[in-house]
Amino acid sequence: MLLRWAPNLLLGAFALADTKLYELGISKGVSKEGKQVISLNGKNDTVGPIIRVNSGDTLNLLVNNDICNANDYEQYGELYCDTSIHFHGVVLNNNGADLGVLHDGVPGVSQYSIPSGMSYWYNFTIPENLCGTYWYHSHSSVQYGDGLRGIFLVDCDYRQKYIERVIAKLEADGTDGTLLENLPPQGAKVPVQEVVMAVTDWYSKSSVEILSQVMSPYGGPDPSVEGSMMNGDTGSVKFEVAEGVEYVALRVINTGMSGTNVLHVEGHRLCVIETDGVLTKPYMIDTLSIAVGQRFTVLVKLNKEAPARVVHGCGKMMGYVTKTHWLLRPGQVAGDDYVGRVVHLPGLDKNEMYKQFVPLEGELLPEPSQQLSLDYEFDGDEAREPFGTTMYTVNGDTMQEFMPDGVLIEGARGVREPIPLHGGGVVEIAINSIDHMTHPWHMHGHTFQVVSVGRKRDGPLYFDNPESPAMKRYLADVAEWQDKVPMTRDTINIPGRSYAVIRLRADNPGFWLLHCHVEWHMAKGLGVVFAEGDALVSAVSKPFARQSDAAGASTALPEPSSTADAAATPTVSAVRAISTAADAPASSAAPATSQQQPSPEAAMPAASASKGKVLAIYLLIMCTLNVAIWLFFFR
């Protein structure tokens, strides 16, 4: 099928800073393959509407959680039913009353979970210097794999002008080079079309069902990837390119649960200009490798005559799931599927190209005033208490041990004190993979400079051991940076039995996660929580019951913790829902594919009686607690 792609020409003017209202309705749905999913605004293709704002805009996003009813709480529990939204890569400033950290969307760290039947506002201002390609997703359990995710785009004049200048350079010099330097001051006004490509892995079972296997006593952390998706479509996607368009700007986002993805546009070269919201000096490559959580913008000069065949590989344990997509001008038709092997694609480099993708601006951060090493490994020998399953550890602790039942930012503490980062200073963190697998690590609240990345089997890096292979590579890399800037981003793949060293300025006080973005590994505790500087404590807003629902709310659902919150919030109908079906990156009307078509029964996990009991007790305690709090404060 052809996508109905409203040509989105980049050469537009931008409005002044504005307040943008969005609304996300979250509910339980069933995909066209019969798999249980989480729908956003009623759509079941596991990728939500695009949220699009300008730098400097204020976003008012209303989230209405309707995933579960009381029976669902019994069956699936709060891990499935309660939610939150994280804006991946959107680094918000902490200024006075409007603390960015409060909108980071991590339950137990910066906010309370939003129970089903309740709502929550994410209201924040996009910093003027933040512009590029981001995404949003649930930070609760493994929900985003079931569909609680979408693309978040921030526009600005500066980025558009830069794209025009890079195109002027490509027009003048052709696409054969590598690093393009000395861009002309004036851009080229040629028609450019933006194409969003959200690539992910795919499973025949719902995430909540897979999770129960992963979290069983000796459950492995890597359920097998069974397929892949492009913009929520498990088939071959045909992108319609408007008449007269000469360049496409591909905005590529790996919104997957696991697995690095690979993209190649046959017969075309890719000009990389963005790594995770950071504009880069234009760098020409042939094949793009995208770790989970990463984003890139690449410019592609389209051939005039032939349609462009896009080869898409999604990494799995052994090899790749291979798909073919098309960029088609009016009248062009798709040809045959690619039958070659992804590993043979020209220029495929699965290592981070941290020396090639150089930021357009900025300089190497000064020598760090704090250095720390984090060793992570899969503690595969025994089920760890109190989790009842084998877990990952980082320096001996699992991430779950940092997260309290309350909210860290309000002063509650987990079993572990968060790791302190010296506020205001430059911090260098060595992340050491004791494990043999590649893991994508993501930092909240910051972008970081990638100072050094080991090759597979370089071993861990400890700053006090100058003789190790890792430390030798690191010292050589640091020497090289004296007149260059390292790749800057928020997510990075770390090779197995190796390390990465990231450098950042700890100028954003708050509680921030650094974690592996494979969601199965998150569930098994692969991450840490930092306490940066004097993490200011401010009023954390609470989820609230919608007025229309409040009267008839089921007593089995957790009650709002403050009735005052509910009274202060407007009704849902007062909000303009501007995220429409037309915003979605791809239509769901895909042709049937040769993918495994799971039966609808297979998609429903069996209820666990003991878990149900635990939950019933949990809900009872929560209700009692809420009544107690209510009596304490309002009597």
Ligand X SMILES: *[C@@H]1O[C@H](CO)[C@@H](O)[C@H](O)[C@H]1NC(C)=O
Q: What residue ranges bind ligand X (CB under 6 A)?
A: 29-30, 39, 42-44, 60, 121, 123, 541, 569-570
Separation CA 596–CA 604 (nearest Å): 16
Decide whether 42 or 591 has the Cβ nearer to ligand X.
Answer: 42
Decide whether 479 or 574 has the Cβ nearer to ligand X.
Answer: 574
Distance between alpha carbon 342 and the CA centroid of its chain, in Å? Answer: 24
The burial class, CB within 10 Å (0-12 / 13-18 / 19+), for 395 is: middle
CB of 353 to ligand X, least distance (A): 40
What one-character DSSP code corresponds to residue 107? B
Separation CA 140–CA 582 (nearest Å): 27
Decide whether 541 or 547 has the Cβ nearer to ligand X.
Answer: 541
Decide whether 44 or 493 has the Cβ nearer to ligand X.
Answer: 44
In what side-by-side order are the strands of the sheet with 132-137?
A: 51-54, 149-155, 132-137, 86-88
Decide whether 30 or 70 has the Cβ nearer to ligand X.
Answer: 30
Q: Which residue's CB comes closest to ligand X?
A: 29
CB of 566 to ligand X, least distance (A): 12
* CA angle, 580 then 519 then 252, to 5°: 50
Separation CA 360–CA 344 (nearest Å): 31
CB of 117 to ligand X, least distance (A): 18
C-alpha distances in Å from residue 249, one per residue of 9, 12, 276: 10, 14, 15
CB of 123 to ligand X, least distance (A): 4
CB of 90 to ligand X, least distance (A): 17
Of the candidates 591, 585, 566, 443, the residue with the CA atom closest to the CA atom of residue 510: 443
CB of 25 to ligand X, least distance (A): 11
Q: Please, which residues have CB within 8 angstroms of residue 206's CB and are 6 or more apart in sequence?
A: 35, 36, 37, 146, 603, 605
Helix, strand or coil, per DSSP, at residue 521: helix
Q: Helix (H) and strand (E) counts for the chain? A: 9, 33
Show the beta-strand stretches assigned E in 255-362: 261-265, 270-275, 278-285, 288-290, 295-301, 308-315, 320-328
CB of 586 to ligand X, least distance (A): 14
The helix, strand and coil proportions of the chain, stated in percent and rounded to the nearest 5, come to 20, 35, 50
Separation CA 318–CA 257 (nearest Å): 16
CB of 541 to ligand X, least distance (A): 4
Q: How many CB atoms lie within 10 A of CB 609?
A: 9
What single-letter amino acid sits at 147? G
Decide whether 43 or 264 has the Cβ nearer to ligand X.
Answer: 43
CA dihedral sign of residues 395, 397, 398, 399 = negative
* Residue whose token pair is 């079906």: 581
**107 contacts 540 by C-beta, under 8 angstroms:** no
**83 contacts 148 by C-beta, under 8 angstroms:** yes
Decide whether 69 or 356 has the Cβ nearer to ligand X.
Answer: 69
Show the beta-strand stretches assigned E in 479-558: 488-489, 491-494, 499-505, 510-516, 527-532, 544-545
What one-character DSSP code corresponds to residue 574? G
Q: Is the peptide bond before 221 cis (omega within 30 degrees of 0)?
A: no
Decide whether 119 or 258 has the Cβ nearer to ligand X.
Answer: 119
CB of 585 to ligand X, least distance (A): 16
CB of 588 to ligand X, least distance (A): 7
CB of 134 to ligand X, least distance (A): 20
CB of 86 to ligand X, least distance (A): 17
Decide whether 13 or 16 has the Cβ nearer to ligand X.
Answer: 16
* CA angle, 202 then 36 then 552, to 5°: 145
Decide whether 562 or 569 has the Cβ nearer to ligand X.
Answer: 569
Separation CA 239–CA 304 (nearest Å): 16
CB of 539 to ligand X, least distance (A): 9
CB of 45 to ligand X, least distance (A): 8
Separation CA 552–CA 570 (nearest Å): 18
CB of 273 to ligand X, least distance (A): 34
Decide whether 44 or 54 has the Cβ nearer to ligand X.
Answer: 44
Decide whether 322 or 569 has the Cβ nearer to ligand X.
Answer: 569
* Helix (H), strand (E) at residue 252: strand 247-254
* CA angle, 154 then 492 then 274, to 5°: 35
Decide whether 105 or 313 has the Cβ nearer to ligand X.
Answer: 105
Give the gyration radius of the chain's Cα atoms: 24
Of the candidates 497, 625, 492, 616, the residue with the CA atom closest to the CA atom of residue 559: 625
Decide whether 232 or 282 has the Cβ nearer to ligand X.
Answer: 232
Decide whether 98 or 222 has the Cβ nearer to ligand X.
Answer: 98
Decide whether 60 or 351 has the Cβ nearer to ligand X.
Answer: 60
**Two structure tokens written together for 57:** 């805009």
What one-character DSSP code corresponds to residue 67? S
CB of 39 to ligand X, least distance (A): 5
